[in-house]
Amino acid sequence: MGRSLTGSRCTHCGTVAFPQAPGCQRCGRRSTEPLELSTRGTVWGFTVQRFAPKSPPYVVPEGGFVPFAVGYVELAEGVKVEAVLDCPDGSDFSKLDGAEVTLVATEPVPRFAMEPVV
């Protein structure tokens, strides 16, 4: 489907980073290779942004601010990626706890959704 996040893997110890990093946080060596990350994962933790962040830098969406979930998605590569999280009805955020999610956007930041992409 041509949509994935690019991280990196340490060629020495295998530690996976996102975004792509020139060095390894675990072993301190500076030899990494690009790695396309899984597009499905599990919500590790999340909260809800209830108020509009300060603008700038926040760009208010067309139609105005609505609360959104933000959290970390645990991927099989052994890294948890920060992302905006969409849930099916858009407001019952509690469903996100431990949910399986799928990558739906990589820009401006990673975005995962509970409903699988068709």
Partner 1 sequence: MSVSTGTGVSIIGAGLSKFGRQPGRSGRELALDAIAAALTDAGLDWPDVQVAYGGSDGSGLADTLVADLGLTGIPFTNVKNGCATGGSALLSAVHAIRSGAAEVALAVGFDKHPRGAFDPRPEDWGLPAAYGEAGLMVTTQFFGIKIARYLREHGISERTLALVAEKAYRNGALNPNAWRREPMSADEIAGADMVNDPLTRFMFCSPGEGGAAIVLASDAAAAGSGRAVRLLGAATRTRRFGSFEVFSPAIQGSGRPSSVSSDAAAAAFAAAGVGPDEVDVAQLQDTESGAEIMHLAECGFCKDGEQEAMIAAGETEIGGRLPVNTDGGCIANGEPIGASGLRQVHEIVTQLRGEAGARQVAAPRVGFTHVYGAPGISACTVLAV
- Which residue in 35, 71, 104, 113 binds partner 1 (CB under 8 A)? 71
Q: How many chain residues are in contact with partner 1, going by CB under 8 A?
A: 38
Of the candidate residues 19, 88, 90, 116, the single one contacting partner 1 (CB under 8 A): 19
| Residues of this chain, 90-109, that bind partner 1 according to CB under 8 A | 93, 97, 107-109
**Separation CA 46–CA 85 (nearest Å):** 8
Alpha-carbon separation of residue 6 from 11, 25, 64, 95 (angstroms): 16, 17, 31, 27
Residue 71 Cα distances to 62, 68, 82, 96, 101, angstroms: 23, 10, 6, 10, 12
Q: Is 113 in the site for partner 1 (CB under 8 A)?
A: no
Among 2, 22, 57, 64, binds partner 1 (CB under 8 A): 57
- Sign, Cα dihedral of 38, 42, 46, 50: positive
Contact between 36 and partner 1 by CB under 8 A: the answer reads no
Decide: is 41 part of the binding site for partner 1 (CB under 8 A).
Answer: no
CB count within 10 Å of CB 46 equals 20
Residue 84 in contact with partner 1, rule: CB under 8 A: yes
Where along the sequence are the contacts to partner 1 (CB under 8 A)? 7, 15-19, 25-26, 44-54, 56-59, 68, 70-72, 78-82, 84, 93, 97, 107-109
